[in-house]
Every structure is written in C-alpha cells, then in structure tokens.
Amino acid sequence: MLIATLMPLLSRYSLGFDLVAGPDDTVTLTIIPRKAEGTGSAPETGETRPIAITARAAEIDTELARGTDGALGQLIAARRGLADQIAGQRQAADAARQATAEAAKAKAASATPRAAVSASVVQPAPTSPPADARPGEPASLF
C-alpha cells in the first residue's frame, strides 16, 4: 500500500525513506523527495521538504491503506497541485518576458531618429563662499 500511495510522488521525484524506532512502540517514517533523474527543471524547495509521520506501526499502516483519502495522499495531492501552479506561473512569466522583448524590438525598429538638440550653455556653480560667510561656521541658506 505504501508504494501505491506514493505513485504520484514517484512520477515527479526520486524518493528516499528513513525509518526510526521511537519510544513506546512508535515509528517515524520520513519520506524525502529528491530531483528525479531525467527531469529538466529542479523542484522548488517547498516540493522537496521531507514528509515525516510518527505513530505506531499499525496506525501508519492504517493511514497508508486509506490511499488518496488519507493524510499522506492528501498532502501528496496538495504538493502536486502547488507544483503545477508554480509551473504554470513560470510559463506565463516566460511568455510575458518574450512578448515584452518582442514589443521592445518592434518599437526600437520603428522609432524615427529625433532631431539633434542644440546644446545650451550652463553656468557653473559659484565655488567661492558668500560675502557674509564667517570662518568656522556653516553658510546660512537664509
């Protein structure tokens, strides 16, 4: 039942497992998603966060037997939905960048050269202190 429950994750990731016995006959099952070989893009950090379940072995078996209706199945479905949303947002952002770049190229190609602007003479700022300035004191603006 464990493998059938994890099939949605296995389609996107390589999975690592860690089983640790705890006090009072509890077990901690940690599922660690990793980038699968052959996939083009690296998964987001939120997608690869480990999933840890701590309970008695019989309780874990019962929860895994619930399949997609169980907590693990719902968590996997939620992560898959979020990963799909992220991928869709990336595609939309890439399309928007391409459209903006193409519009900028078209605008630059169709722009007419502007007439040369005559240069005006700019008066340099005075470098000497005002006549009423006192040594050792800052100059007043008033």
Rounded CA-CA distance 41/27 in Å is 34
Q: Give tens-digit pLDDT for 96-117.
A: 999 999 988 888 888 755 555 5
Rounded CA-CA distance 90/59 in Å is 39
Please report the pLDDT score of residue 92 as a whole number.
Answer: 93
To the question of pTM greater than 0.95 for the whole model, the response is: no
Domain borders along the chain are 2-104
* Secondary element (H or E) of residue 67: none
From residue 141, alpha-carbon distances to 123, 129, 131 in Å are 20, 12, 13
**DSSP symbols for 75-99:** HHHHHHHHHHHHHHHHHHHHHHHHH
Rounded to an integer, what is the distance from CA 94 to the centroid of its chain? 14
Rounded CA-CA distance 142/127 in Å is 18
Q: Nearest Cα to 27, choosing from 17, 37, 36?
A: 17
Rounded CA-CA distance 56/63 in Å is 11
Q: What is the CA radius of gyration of the chain?
A: 33
Q: Grade residue 139 by pLDDT with cuts at 50, 70 and 90.
A: low
Q: Grade residue 123 by pLDDT with cuts at 50, 70 and 90.
A: low
Place of tokens 């202190």: 129
Half-sphere exposure of 67 (CA within 13 A, CB side): 3
